[in-house]
Structures are given as structure tokens and as C-alpha cells.
Amino acid sequence: MSTTTKARTSSFSRNPLAGPTSQIPGLKPGPNGAVFVSSGIPDLDRILGGGFCLGSLIMVMEDPEAPHHMLLLRNFMAQGLLHNQPLLYGSSSKDPKGFLGTLPNPMSPKDDKPRDRGTEQDKDLRIAWQYKKYSRENQLDSNHEFCSTFDLRKPLERQYFGGKHVDCVSTQDLTLDILLQRCSTFLAQNSRSGSSISCGGRIAIQSFCAPQCGYIDKDWDMLAFIKSLKGLVRASNAVAIITFPHSLLSSSFSKRWQHLADTLLSELAQLLTGYQEMVGFLGIHKVARMNTQVPLVLEATTFSIKLHKRRSLVLECLNQAPIDGASGTSYGTSSSCSTSTKQGSLDF
């Protein structure tokens, strides 16, 4: 008895989570005992310091003029299915199952060439020397790497849907209590039992306070729902992401929602034209700090969302206004003009 208490109260205890999680695909141990799951966007993982923290609640503030939260959700959900993680998807639409058909497929290794040329050539050399080994490695990688790059133009292959706990609910015909019950039974299936982590579950709820759900006069009930969901997720082995149209809430309730989030993202429609690849902006307001009080210092709070070659999502820092090389205007005028408009719209 005395030895067990001693082991528990000692400051130098081995982290029981560090060992086993490194072998489970889709989970990555982070600092301070945190475990990360991937957001499905490599750049976002990097910005957030590893990915979404297991046990955290991510909230995305929707822009009524832009559907970028759908891109985030698609990648998030597809990544989960790729890693064989259970998924619960709640949506305000009548047919939430239909959304699963729009999930992107991971890029096949053939066309998933890295953006820089140098590594590409290195790999080619390796192929020439050890062709067999390389091809086998690649097959493993596409299923087991922590974060895949997704091709938004190709739908997710059928094989990834098979035999897993994929649950879809329409929030239109559910009351908040029942929705919470669905979430809690879903989470109970993969609860955090001691030190063994099986795989991270994912909950995605889209457009939570949209008018068609009929929650609009239940401000406090919605808050209580989010608070309970946060508590449930924290105690279990899962990640929840909620997107909400914050313009529908009063400003004080919107702030309450934002305070409840562990990680808070926002999206912004693109106000500029002439940037071919850029589709909008992503703001990062809060990053989950589990078990630590040291805040993560971001290089920037606003990133541009780009569609690289019209297929994969890329986030880029906006240090300078991007200059559109294709447009015929001279260098000087275009840059100065775009800088001023950008600062006006983004409120740096």
C-alpha cells in the first residue's frame, strides 16, 4: 500500500502513455503527457504544435459567406477513417450520411510528390538503388503515417468505411439531451481506461446552432451541452470538433462559446480577387494547452488557405501580401495596393 502511494506522489514518474501510443497509428505523443491526433491538414498540425490534443474540444467559427469549415471537417473526418478511428458526425442537414461521400481520398504516393524538388530527386535515387524496399515502404506509409495529404478531387475509397463505428446523426430531429446521450454512448465505447489507449475517437458536429436545428432560443441549454460534451471528451479518449455560425449568436453568448473551446479557429471568406490558389483565411485564436500553463506562441494568427494544384489544402503564413504573378500589373503597385486592403480587412 505504501509503495503504491509513493509511486503516485513522486514527481519523477514514468509517463505511461508515452510508450504504447507511439505504436498506434494516428496517435502521436506530445509534451506534458498530451497525445495528438491529426487534423488531416499537415500544415495545421504543424501550426498547432502537433495536431489536435486528445481530450480537447475544437471550435470553428464559421463565416456565413464561406464554406471552409467543410474543408476542415472533411479532412478531419477522412483522416480519422484512414486511421480506423470511430467517428460520430452530427449535421444540421437532413441527410448527414451523404456528407461522408464527399470525404477526400489520400493522395496516392505516385502523385504525392513533395513541393520541393530536392527531396524528390533523392527519392528517385533511392528507387533506383532499392526499388523493392521503397515501394513496400510507401504502401505502409499511406495507411500508417500520422497525417496524410488529401486529394480533394477524389472521393474516399470504399474500403475505408468498412466495418467501423461510423455514426451519423441529423441534429434536426434530435433534442440536445438525446444528442448528448448519443455522444456519451459513443464516447463510452472508447473510454480512457487506465493507461491503455486503443484509438482516438472523433466527434464532428457541423453548424451546431444553425436555425434548422431549432435550438436558437435555447442559448443556455446549448452552452450546457457544450460544457458537458467538453467534460465527456476530456474524460475519454477522443476529440470533438464543433463548427458554429457565430454571427447567429449574440456577442456575449458567442464569447461564452469561444471561452469553452480548447482550440478556437475561425474562417474568413476571401475578400480579394486575383489570387488563384487562395480560397480564404483561417484564424487561430486559441490553442489547447493541456497540462501546461505556457502558451504556444504562434508565428501569426491568420493564415491563408490555399488549394495547392486544386487538390490539397495548404496553409500559409501571411507575412506579406501574396503577389499574383499572373496578373499583368507592375510589381510595385500591386504589392502596395494589396497590402493596404489586406490590413484593412484583417485587422492586424
Q: Cβ of residue 341: shortest distance to other proteins, in angstroms?
A: 19
Binding window for other proteins (CB under 8 A); candidates: 135-143, 168-176, 295-303, 307-315: 295-303
Told to check if 319 binds other proteins by CB under 8 A, we report no
Told to check if 132 binds other proteins by CB under 8 A, we report no
Told to check if 292 binds other proteins by CB under 8 A, we report yes
Q: How many CA atoms lie within 13 A of 191 on its CB side?
A: 10
Q: Report which residue type is found at 277.
A: E
Among residues 140, 216, 235, 317, the one that binds other proteins under rule CB under 8 A: 235
Told to check if 250 binds other proteins by CB under 8 A, we report yes
- The C-alpha cell of 47 is what? 501550426
Rg (CA), the chain: 22
202, 55 Cβ separation under 8 angstroms: no
Told to check if 1 binds other proteins by CB under 8 A, we report no
> Which residue's CB is nearer to other proteins, number 114 or number 231?
231
| 28: number of Cβ within 10 Å | 19
Q: Which residues contact 128 (CB under 8 A, 6 or more apart)?
A: none
Among residues 2, 3, 9, 23, the one that binds other proteins under rule CB under 8 A: 9
Told to check if 117 binds other proteins by CB under 8 A, we report no
Total binding residues toward other proteins, as defined by CB under 8 A: 41
> Which residue's CB is nearer to other proteins, number 140 or number 216?
216
Burial of 222 (0-12, 13-18, 19+ CB in 10 A): buried
- The C-alpha cell of 324 is what? 499574383
Among residues 161, 256, 269, 346, the one that binds other proteins under rule CB under 8 A: 256
> Which residue's CB is nearer to other proteins, number 98 or number 231?
231
Q: Cβ of residue 307: shortest distance to other proteins, in angstroms?
A: 27
- The C-alpha cell of 17 is what? 502513455
Helices (H), the chain: 2-9, 18-21, 42-47, 68-82, 97-100, 117-129, 131-144, 176-189, 219-235, 251-260, 331-346
Distance separating alpha carbons of residues 4 and 62, to the nearest angstrom: 49
Told to check if 286 binds other proteins by CB under 8 A, we report yes
For the chain, what percentages of helix, strand and coil (3-state, to nearest 5) are there? Answer: 40, 20, 40
Told to check if 136 binds other proteins by CB under 8 A, we report no
Among residues 300, 317, 340, 341, the one that binds other proteins under rule CB under 8 A: 300
Distance separating alpha carbons of residues 272 and 1, to the nearest angstrom: 67
Told to check if 285 binds other proteins by CB under 8 A, we report yes
Told to check if 264 binds other proteins by CB under 8 A, we report yes
Binding site for other proteins (CB under 8 A): 5, 8-9, 11, 32-33, 180, 219-221, 223-224, 227-228, 230-232, 234-235, 250-252, 255-256, 258-259, 264, 285-286, 289-295, 297-298, 300-301, 348
